[in-house]
């Protein structure tokens, strides 16, 4: 857990678990009055913000660089004008409202000019966009708690086409968008590719910059905007239209509705049509497609984030999590400077429980029962008497598979009656060391391989008398996941590495086998799915999964060598 410098409420996301803890907090919530319950609301995600170039900025340019809320296309035209020539912000805003967006924030960075050569864009550079995102004059001027839920900068591409930006600076602005969303937690950046890219070039664009975040999405290809209201048909980046679709699905169905297979309005055609084979190349790397159907409709055909973490690969998963966190933060904000005695803590837990119950009733959490859909566990630590923690698990994709986060209350005061709750979680590390012999074998694996390979293998090893540590069984929710892993890695004398492409791509599997490798403890790879071992494991003998008798004999041999230091190694 991180250190805190000022009193407040902090949200910390932790690793997902497939185990619901036995020590969950549960109450009839008599501490929460009916009046207080009525005031509990699911706080919707904020609307979209657009940063870019406009024809004007108010009657006397007083809106220049000032975030301004507009509630309709007509209001946007009245305040900021319409045609920006080669700029894309008005087209994006028109697409936002046409697709159901209710209101949006506009930050105008500069105005077009007209001379004998036609309409010209202002002389803007990358730092102008970065300042608009970070400084008090731009999005930083928005009151805390009212930040946008979606962020679009379509004019990155206009300035790239004009030559005012190069590819690296365009990437730097998009990275600043991502950083803003990561910092504020409750925002998603909608990114565009550069225009006229072929599918293999779009794939290269994605891989070149290696964005890795669940708070950004990327859409391809560009759209051909329908002509109308004096606007010619033209190719535009898709971010504004996508933002409108996201807001429309949120309003009509809730954030749990995946914003995919939705019709795009204000679109006549696509700049390029993608084949099924090309889609199979783009989709796995997080490029969401816009596709034309045989009926002539233009539909959103993907809903992935740019995260390599499978737990947050879908937009709706991240947006439901953000909604839950945002709602909880606002509902318990009264507790920042409150005395966190037992009645106050009961009120906090009741508030969170009631909010999660409402999310479950709304269909945002998965599970036939509340026990399958969510849990919360409270923690008090005598060594940190100013911290009170409520761990929360939400089933967002499958019942009983929980995405977890901590709600941390940090106060300047010492929390009264400081003691662990009566149903406190057991100290598994202490039990592991003091009350039972340490395990011998650490099993490292990808969760995708659990059902087919790992669970039967672990059962076979245990039936043959081998002492196994595997996180599927020993870790309980409410514990510090990484601390438990590291403790087990130190205790175990042999690692069985269940090899598959998914396992070798897992950051956690790499950390596990590298810790064994660096401490010169033996690793025994078992090939579950064919995969090329990394160079650092290239000299280690491996066994096919089917040869489990040989595996058991080899494991016993390696453990025997470790028991008898006189034997050669």
Give the pLDDT confidence score for residue 329 in this predicted structure: 92
Give the pLDDT confidence score for residue 20 in this predicted structure: 80
What tokens does 351 get? 């508030």
Predicted confidence (pLDDT) at residue 430 exceeds the cutoff of 70: no
First to last CA, the chain: 40
Q: How far apart are CA 380 and CA 389, in angstroms?
A: 7
Can you list the positions of beta strands (E) in 234-356? 234-236, 267-270, 287-292, 298-300
Statement to judge: residues 364 and 291 lie in one domain: no
- Per-residue pLDDT band for 38 (boundaries 50, 70, 90) equals low
Statement to judge: residues 219 and 267 lie in one domain: yes
Predicted confidence (pLDDT) at residue 50 exceeds the cutoff of 80: yes
Q: How far apart are CA 87 and CA 177, in angstroms?
A: 19
Q: Return the residue matching tokens 């409750």.
A: 186
Q: How far apart are CA 403 and CA 316, in angstroms?
A: 13
The verdict on residue 314 lying in a domain is: no
Query: Domain range holding 170?
Result: 48-254+260-302
CA–CA distances in Å: residue 80 to residues 112, 153, 481: 11, 16, 51
Statement to judge: residues 234 and 383 lie in one domain: no
Give the pLDDT confidence score for residue 392 in this predicted structure: 95
Q: How far apart are CA 128 and CA 525, in angstroms?
A: 52
Predicted confidence (pLDDT) at residue 227 exceeds the cutoff of 80: no
Statement to judge: residues 39 and 60 lie in one domain: no
Picking from 376, 410, 444, the residue at the C-terminal end of a domain is 410
Interior/surface letters 294-317, b for 16+ CB within 10 angstroms, e for the rest: eeeebbbbbbbbbbbeebbbbbbb
Give the pLDDT confidence score for residue 472 in this predicted structure: 58
CA angle in degrees (0–180, nearest 5) for 163-168-169 = 65
Within 10 Å of residue 82's Cβ, how many Cβ atoms?
Answer: 18
- Per-residue pLDDT band for 1 (boundaries 50, 70, 90) equals low
CATH value at residue 461: 3.40.50.10140
Give the pLDDT confidence score for residue 30 in this predicted structure: 64
**Could you please report the per-residue DSSP string of 9-65?**
EEEEEEEEES---TT------TTS-HHHHHT--PPPPP-EEEEEEES-SSTTSTTBT
Predicted confidence (pLDDT) at residue 163 exceeds the cutoff of 70: yes
Statement to judge: residues 84 and 149 lie in one domain: yes
CATH value at residue 248: 3.40.50.11780
The verdict on residue 416 lying in a domain is: no
The verdict on residue 558 lying in a domain is: yes
Statement to judge: residues 33 and 53 lie in one domain: no
Q: How far apart are CA 350 and CA 107, in angstroms?
A: 40
- Per-residue pLDDT band for 483 (boundaries 50, 70, 90) equals low
CATH value at residue 394: 3.10.450
Which residues have CB under 8 Å from 106's CB, separation 6+? Answer: 49, 50, 54, 63, 67, 68, 69, 70, 76, 79, 80, 89, 93
On the CB side of 283, how many CA atoms lie within 13 Å of its CA? Answer: 15
CA–CA distances in Å: residue 83 to residues 18, 337, 447, 492: 53, 50, 52, 67
Give the pLDDT confidence score for residue 384 in this predicted structure: 79
Q: What is the pLDDT of residues 168-210, one digit of tens each?
A: 999 999 999 999 999 888 899 999 999 999 999 999 999 988 8
Q: How far apart are CA 213 and CA 189, in angstroms?
A: 10
Q: Return the residue matching tokens 């650092």.
A: 536
Statement to judge: residues 79 and 17 lie in one domain: no
CA–CA distances in Å: residue 303 to residues 307, 386, 449: 12, 41, 25
Statement to judge: residues 225 and 111 lie in one domain: yes
Predicted confidence (pLDDT) at residue 247 exceeds the cutoff of 70: yes
What tokens does 198 get? 């072929």
**To the nearest whole number, what is the mean pLDDT of the chain?**
85
- Per-residue pLDDT band for 267 (boundaries 50, 70, 90) equals very high
Which residues have CB under 8 Å from 143's CB, separation 6+? Answer: none
User: Taken in order 79, 246, 317, 129, is the CA torsion positive or negative?
Assistant: negative
Give the pLDDT confidence score for residue 245 in this predicted structure: 97
Q: What is the pLDDT of residues 115-162, one digit of tens each?
A: 777 788 888 888 888 888 877 767 777 777 778 999 999 999 999 998
Statement to judge: residues 290 and 177 lie in one domain: yes
Q: What is the pLDDT of residues 539-562, one digit of tens each?
A: 788 899 999 999 999 999 988 865
What tokens does 95 get? 């697409």
Predicted confidence (pLDDT) at residue 97 exceeds the cutoff of 90: yes
- Per-residue pLDDT band for 481 (boundaries 50, 70, 90) equals low
Statement to judge: residues 276 and 401 lie in one domain: no
Predicted confidence (pLDDT) at residue 59 exceeds the cutoff of 50: yes
Q: What share of the chain is helix, strand, coil (3-state, %, to 5)?
A: 40, 20, 40
Q: How far apart are CA 131 and CA 140, in angstroms?
A: 9
CB of 524 closer than 8 Å to CB of 543: yes
Number of domains in the chain: 3
Predicted confidence (pLDDT) at residue 251 exceeds the cutoff of 60: yes
Statement to judge: residues 56 and 34 lie in one domain: no
Give the rounded distance of the alpha carbon of 28 from its chain centre: 32
- Portion of the chain with pLDDT greater than 70, in percent: 89
Statement to judge: residues 116 and 63 lie in one domain: yes
Rg for the chain, CA atoms, rounded: 27
CB of 177 closer than 8 Å to CB of 216: yes
Give the rounded distance of the alpha carbon of 174 from its chain centre: 17
CA angle in degrees (0–180, nearest 5) for 185-187-191 = 130
Give the pLDDT confidence score for residue 434 in this predicted structure: 37
């Amino acid at each position: 857990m991180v250190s805190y410098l000022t009193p407040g409420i902090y949200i910390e996301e932790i690793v997902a678990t497939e185990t619901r803890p036995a020590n969950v907090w549960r109450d009839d919530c008599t501490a929460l009055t009916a009046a207080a319950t009525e005031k509990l609301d699911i706080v919707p995600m904020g609307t979209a913000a657009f940063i870019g170039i406009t024809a004007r900025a108010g009657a006397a340019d007083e809106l220049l660089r000032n975030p301004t809320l507009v509630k309709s296309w007509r209001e946007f035209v009245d305040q900021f004008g319409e045609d920006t020539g080669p700029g894309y912000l008005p087209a994006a805003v028109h697409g936002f409202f046409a697709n159901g967006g209710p209101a949006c924030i506009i930050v105008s960075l500069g105005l077009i000019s007209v001379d004998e050569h036609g309409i010209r864009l202002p002389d803007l550079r990358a730092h102008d966009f970065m300042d608009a995102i970070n400084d008090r004059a731009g999005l930083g001027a928005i009151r805390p708690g009212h930040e946008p839920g979606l962020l679009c900068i379509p004019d990155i591409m206009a300035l790239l086409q004009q030559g005012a930006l190069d590819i690296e600076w365009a990437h730097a602005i998009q990275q600043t968008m991502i950083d803003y969303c990561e910092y504020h937690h409750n925002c998603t950046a909608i990114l565009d590719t550069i225009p006229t890219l072929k599918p293999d070039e779009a794939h290269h664009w994605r891989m070149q910059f290696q964005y890795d975040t669940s708070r950004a999405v990327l859409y391809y290809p560009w759209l051909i905007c329908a002509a109308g209201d004096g606007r010619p048909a033209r190719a535009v980046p898709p971010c504004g239209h996508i933002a409108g679709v996201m807001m429309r699905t949120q309003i009509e169905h809730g954030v749990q509705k995946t914003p995919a297979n939705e019709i795009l309005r204000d679109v006549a055609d696509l700049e390029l049509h993608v084949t099924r084979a090309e889609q199979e190349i783009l989709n796995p790397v997080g490029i969401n497609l816009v596709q034309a159907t045989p009926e002539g409709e233009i539909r959103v055909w993907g809903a992935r984030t740019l995260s390599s973490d499978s737990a947050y690969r879908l937009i709706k998963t991240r947006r439901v999590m953000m909604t839950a966190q945002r709602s909880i933060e606002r509902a318990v904000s009264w507790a920042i400077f409150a005395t966190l005695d037992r009645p106050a803590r009961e009120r906090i837990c009741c508030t969170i429980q009631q909010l999660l119950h409402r999310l479950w009733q709304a269909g945002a959490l998965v599970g036939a029962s509340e026990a399958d859909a969510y849990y919360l566990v409270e923690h008090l630590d005598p060594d940190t008497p100013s911290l009170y923690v409520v761990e929360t698990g939400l089933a967002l994709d499958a019942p009983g598979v929980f995405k977890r986060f901590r709600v941390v209350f940090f106060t300047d005061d010492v929390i009264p009656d400081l003691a662990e709750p009566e149903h406190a979680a057991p100290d598994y590390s202490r039990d592991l060391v003091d009350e039972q012999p340490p395990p011998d074998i650490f099993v490292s694996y990808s969760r995708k391989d659990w059902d087919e390979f790992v669970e039967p293998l672990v059962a076979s090893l245990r039936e043959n008398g081998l002492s196994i540590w595997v996180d599927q069984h020993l870790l309980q929710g409410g514990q510090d996941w990484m601390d438990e892993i590291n403790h087990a890695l130190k205790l175990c004398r042999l690692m069985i590495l269940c090899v598959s492409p998914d396992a070798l791509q897992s950051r956690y599997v790499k950390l596990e086998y590298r810790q064994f490798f660096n401490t010169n403890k033996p690793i025994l790879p078992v090939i579950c799915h064919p995969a090329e071992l990394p160079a650092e494991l290239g000299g280690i003998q491996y066994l096919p999964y089917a040869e489990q008798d040989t595996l058991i004999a080899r494991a016993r041999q390696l453990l025997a060598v470790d028991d008898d230091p006189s034997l050669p190694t």
